[in-house]
Amino acid sequence: MAVVSELIRLESDGTVSFGDYSLDAKSKLDNVKHQGDIYKVKTFKEITKLERNGMFVYESVPGTAVEHLDATDRGVSFTVEGLEDAQITLELEPETEYDITVGGVDAGAMKTNLGGKLSLSVELEAGCAIPVVVSKQ
């Protein structure tokens, strides 16, 4: 896996890939239409953020590259790569418990806050993509 040089890529399987953690300056791309939704991505080495229809979806600090983000009413799955460990925040359903798997290892269950935010840490290193699955219980 590598950075998404076009900032956002619409995959044939209906998922979205985005992010370029190698950029020194902030870059953004908005009004990207895909399956009836409008996406906006902001990315560089310090942060990567994705919005769908003006609503928060994903944020990582520092920046990451994400492939095949699939967000449904049952949860979110994607692979992520970065230069160093990242704090990832996802927007899900408020006050709902989710099972989390990182790199094929069960990371336990977490409950979202009142705003639906769920934060998790992922140990990353360049050139190594890690699968993340967050499933509603």
Q: Which amino acid is at 58?
A: Y
pLDDT of residue 28: 96
pLDDT of residue 127: 84
**pLDDT band at residue 1 under the 50/70/90 scheme:** low
- Measure CA of the first residue to CA of the last residue in the chain; give whole Å: 30
At 14-36, the pLDDT tens digits run 999 999 999 999 999 999 999 99
- How far, in Å, are 85, 102, 128 from residue 29 at the CA level? 25, 28, 25
At 41-80, the pLDDT tens digits run 999 999 999 999 999 999 999 999 999 999 999 999 999 9
**Rounded to two decimals, what is the model's pTM?**
0.94
* Domains identified in the chain and CATH numbers: 8-136 (2.60.220)
Counting every residue written for the chain, the total comes to 137
| Separation CA 125–CA 10 (nearest Å) | 25
Whether the per-residue pLDDT at 7 is higher than 80: the answer is: yes
pLDDT of residue 5: 76
